[in-house]
Structure 1
Amino acid sequence: MADIKKHDTPMVDELKSGPWPSFVDDIYSYAEKHQKQACFDLMGQLELSYKHKETHWKHGGIVGVFGYGGGVIGRYSDQQDKFPAIWAFHTIRVNQPASKWYHSSALRKLCDMWDHRGSGMLNTHGSTGDLVLLGTVTEQLEPIFYDLTHQMNMDLGGSGSNLRTPSCCVGKARCEWSCIDTQALTYDLTMTYQDELHRPAFPYKFKFKISGCPNDCVAAIARADLSIIGTWIDDIRIDQEAVRAYVGGELKPNAGAHSDRDWGPFDIQKEVIDLCPTQCMYWDEKEKKLYINNKECNRCMHCINVMPEALRPGTDTGATILMGAKAPILEGAQLSTVIVPFMRLEPPYDNLKELIEKTWDFWMENGKNRERLGELIQRVGLNRFIVDVLGLKPIPQHVREPRSNPYVFWKEEEVEGGWQRDVAEFRKRHPA
């Protein structure tokens, strides 16, 4: 084995002095144990970046595996003479299983392969969703892809202007609130849209994120171009005996999460009723009974989270479909907008796929380069997108707030000849 060259990294080492575990500790301990020159060179280049106050990574063109346009993010050092072990430091995204369930043997195989063919460093899991293999050279890309697909039954995830790897919460596997089978839906969408996932053809990235209930544990409403949120359309189920047990102190609210309550005994009025965003709940102190006006409920989940043994989602379940969330890249950050308040989701999910494909067709034809779906909706207008593109009927759930100006706008074809017909009809009914 060649001699390992270590670098002097005083500024990087400062990161080890904080109260929390540091990535610097992790990388150095791994590098020492496995004698990985790439890890030492990585820390050396990071020190240089701190000193120069600029990055020393560059993108030297497209790099990937044969037949795929995504999954590999090319990265090269512009300090190759100083740090030759990271002349290339490509990142590989691995398509995670639904809900990120792994068998330990699969992870061991993956780690052994990556120790052999890459830097040994990986990320499970970051904000991209995928399992990310950090740092390898161009010559190893095809062997890595072969090992992943043929030895481990895994695939590359999405990168670039394509469908990114669909992501979901644990769903019905572990969560009693899940209204849809998030894992089945994620797997189906992943397998259906393989071409969109691996071969970039969109104006920019597109993300599916799926949460089984309105608690939205994967933050789909904040991060996904198409957010799928499990919900119910019937009434919240109420166990009145359990409600009384919460009020009487026999059951701990929030499933006992705040066992050190220092604000006194549970107060259903202050902690549930008064915090309901639509004020659709009423506690009758005399009857000791909880009433819910379910037509006004907006499924915020607060009451269910506070009193989980007393309240449960309804049994007539489906999903709310929202579109347009994004981080602040070109325009500011935005949350997704309700497009379909309630959609039933059963395999093969044809109703959802029809909506997805209508959206993609319009976006690919009209979207500007690096324009996310939410920005396109803002540009063309929500009303045009809902009515003309998706063919949906406008409903109150699409309105964020009342109109703030008195003008009414009409389509040209509605105006053309319209007022003449109205005048003629008026004169017919009211002859001079």
Structure 2
Amino acid sequence: MYEWKLNEIVDNDLCASCGTCAIVCPNNIVVFEDGPKLKEECLRKGHGMCYDICPRVSSGGYQIRIRGDFKEKEEYYYGKGDIEGQNGGVVSTFLKYLLENKKIDGAIVVGDECWKPVSLIIQNPEDIEKSAKSKYAISILDALRKAGEIGIERVAVVGLPCQISGLRKLQYFPYLAKYDGELGKNGKILKLPKIQYLIGLFCNKKFKQRSIEEILEKNNLNMEDIEKFDIKKDKFVITTYNNEKYSIPLEDIEYCEGCNVCRDFDAQMADISVGCAGSPENYSTVIIRTKKGEDIKNAIELKEGVNIEFIEKMRKLKMDRFKREIERRRNSGEKISYYWITDYGGVGKRADNTYFIRIRAKPGGWYSTEEINEIINTSKRYNGKIKITNRGAFEIHCIDPYYVEELVLELNKRNFITGSEGPLVRAILACPGGGNCSSGLIDTSELGVIIDERFKEYPAPYKFKIAISGCPNKCVRPQIHDIGIVGVKYPETNENCNGCGRCADVCKVEAIDVRGETSYTNYNSCIGCGKCIRACPNEGRDIKEEGYMIYVGGKSGREIIDGISMKLMDIEGIINLIDKVLKVYTKYAQKPQRERLGAVMHRIGTGKFLEEVKLLMDGDV
């Protein structure tokens, strides 16, 4: 056996048998025989894309959901297609629609050779019907790899929940793994088609092909005799072409061991989920999860009235089996991968293999005494330690992975958001601001709340940091943030000035010159701190201009870059600017999780970047 990092999943019966690892290997050395294994030595011993893509290593669910255009509330329907297929032929009819309307160039489905599942590429709509049967044995979607090799660019993929999870990770791989893909021995990244639609199938468990063949042999049946397989309640139903039916108890059929640690009955990462549960006989339930999934409404007449309670029951049955297996493994000391932890934001692994949970900082870092007590008491209950980050967030550290999900859900119930980690808009850093600090010119907390309501956990190519400084002292370093905001107040002299010089005394940048009975401001030096206005004993200084000065494209860390300063804006302008900067940043970013805003601006040209932002702000694009 070759050394392979994924053996920690495969050898511990955690493997979902989804086959994603075999699809993405650039050297094509992962083979699938009742499970994945290496057929020759891997130079990096599996420390690459096969491991990072595995849905049993991590789900990547949180980052996927904030990027995947998922609907706030799923839509439940049932329907029947115009192609004969398992439970109404809904999937086949939808695929035919997508092909006929040129929305995809090919469909990746599971067909069969004498009921042995094989992965197929279908480009001709008329060929769809040939694959229109449910396959209950383990299969992988390796035709996706072949589709890339022959130049197919856009595909729809039909798969089981585990396969959908792996392929969703593939769609957003750079955001999850922080690199574009693994280089093969030829120095290139494997070319795969763009997945336009993911269609998930309801699944309780996957049976081993060998076990199905043994069942048939016991009943003196050949694969060639079988018209269809089906699952009815707790029976595996075999129907022959002679219309003979055989009902086999499900417990008599060996299934994939990794199914015990699966908690997804209805492919919750799919654009559309389809299955017979919850719908009338010969119909299929259709769950629309994304805006893209709504396209199925153009292909099939959908009806309301799905038995959602029954679907919830099936979900619970699978979740209960999952919980029993995790508890059994915990008690026996067997490996648990805790892949589902990444369904939640703000969760990270520590060097000692325990976890931390980051609570997204309140805007400006303000907390009530009650909120702090709740965080402290919650941490105590889970034997955690508390760290306060430099952005004012609380992190609860040293948490046993077994309790991470429970802790996150408890925090959510107490109205704390876990997050502010990864490629998204981070918690806003702000100084105390006006009303709290004697130098503050603006209410930083109020502005922080407005920005946070609009951009909280908003996806970005890389971390995106915003800072608000109440005055030009810039205590929170706004100039080295992706977006920096500074409250400013510029003075002008009025007729009450008598040249007493008090304004010059308080000016720290020596921008004021007193000549005779009046004072003059050098606006090339003035930073707009407003101190001279407040300090004048004669009310001899008025506000010439006030508002928010903006910096765009700054950063700190390995490389320190000062942002580009912009003209003064009001709050509405700031929201518009942030929105358009994020859009242009996303458009031009080539290396997710590696390229900060300032780097993208430098690469394409700061002038070009800001001009495009301006056009979007003005509504000219």
Same fold (TM over 0.5): yes
Counterpart Cα distance in 2 of 1:324 and 1:148: 33
Quick one: which of 108, 123, 137 aligns to 2:400?
137
Q: Deviations over 1:55-81 (max 9, x none)?
A: xxxx9756777795531122353xxxx
Distance in 2 (CA, whole Å) between partners of 1:141 and 1:236 is: 60
Q: Deviations over 1:86-133 (max 9, x none)?
A: xx32122112223322222321221111011142x2122x22442222
- Would you say 1:218 and 2:483 are equivalent positions? no
Query: More helix per residue: 1 or 2?
Result: 1
3-state SS of paired residue (1:232): strand
Q: Give unpaired runs (5+ residues) of structure 2.
A: 1-51, 63-339
Residue 228 of structure 2 is matched in structure 1 by none
Measure the CA separation in 2 of the matches of 1:236 and 1:132: 49
Q: CA 1:389–1:102 in 2, change beyond 3 Å: closer, same or farther? A: closer
Q: Could you say which residue in structure 2 is the equivalent of 1:207?
A: 465
How many Å separate the matches in 2 of 1:69 and 1:238? 61
Q: Residues 2-13 of structure 1: matches in 2 within 5 Å?
A: none
- What corresponds to 1:283 in structure 2? 514
Q: Offset of 1:355 from its aligned partner? A: 1.6
The one-letter amino acid of 1:164's match is R
**Counterpart among 140, 153, 156 of residue 418 in structure 2:** 156
Q: Which residue of 2 aligns with 1:376?
A: 600
Deviation at 1:335, TM superposition (A): 1.3
SS at 2:474's partner residue? coil
CA RMSD of aligned residues (A): 3.5
Per-residue CA deviations over 1:306-338 (Å, capped at 9, x if unaligned) read x96339883742101111111243xx3111111
* Alignment-mate amino acid for residue 387 of structure 2: N
Indicate whether 1:73 and 2:73 are aligned. no
Give the structure with higher Rg (CA): 2
- Paired position in structure 1 for 2:561: 334
Shift of the 106–304 alpha-carbon distance from structure 1 to 2, 3 Å rule, reads: same
Alpha-carbon spacing, 1:72–1:243, altered in 2? closer, same or farther (3 Å): farther
Residues 365 and 141 of structure 1, relative CA distance in 2, 3 Å threshold: same
How big is the shift at 1:298? 3.5
Does the alignment pair 1:185 with 2:447?
yes
Contact 1:95 1:156 in 2 (8 A): yes
Question: What is the correspondence of 1:274-353 to structure 2 with a 5 Å cutoff?
Answer: 275-276=509-510, 280-284=511-515, 287=516, 289=517, 291-293=519-521, 295-299=523-527, 301=529, 304=531, 309-310=535-536, 314=543, 316-329=545-558, 332-338=559-565, 340-345=566-571, 349=572, 351-353=573-575
Q: What residue ranges of structure 1 are gaps of 5+ in the alignment?
A: 1-58, 78-87, 248-267, 394-432
User: What is aligned with 1:253?
Assistant: none
Rounded to whole Å, the distance in 2 between the matches of 1:242 and 1:113 is: 60
Match of 1:228 in 2: 485
The 1:354/1:246 distance shift into structure 2, 3 A limit, reads: closer
2:430–2:468: 8 Å Cα contact kept in structure 1? yes
SS at match of 2:615: coil
**Structure 1 residue 291: Cα displacement:** 1.2
Distance in 2 (alpha carbons) for counterparts of 1:335 and 1:94:
28
Q: Against the structure 1 CA distance between its residues 242 and 208, is the aligned structure 2 distance closer, same or farther, given a 3 Å change threshold?
A: farther
TM-score where L is the length of structure 2: 0.40
2: CA distance, partners of 1:210 / 1:128 = 11
CA distance in 1, matches of 2:470, 2:493: 16
- Decide whether the 8 Å contact of 1:93 with 1:131 is kept in 2: yes
| Structure-1 residue corresponding to 2:435 | 173
Mark the CA change 1:328 to 1:214 in structure 2 (over 3 Å): closer, same or farther.
Answer: same
Residue of structure 2 equivalent to 1:363: 585
TM-score for the superposition, normalised by structure 1? 0.56
Q: Distance in 1 between matches of 2:494 and 2:519?
A: 11
Deviation, structure 1 residue 283: 2.4
> Using the alignment, how far apart are the partners of 2:394 and 2:474 within structure 1?
21
- Preserved contact between residue 341 and residue 404 of structure 2 (Cα < 8 Å): no
Q: Which has the higher strand share?
A: 2
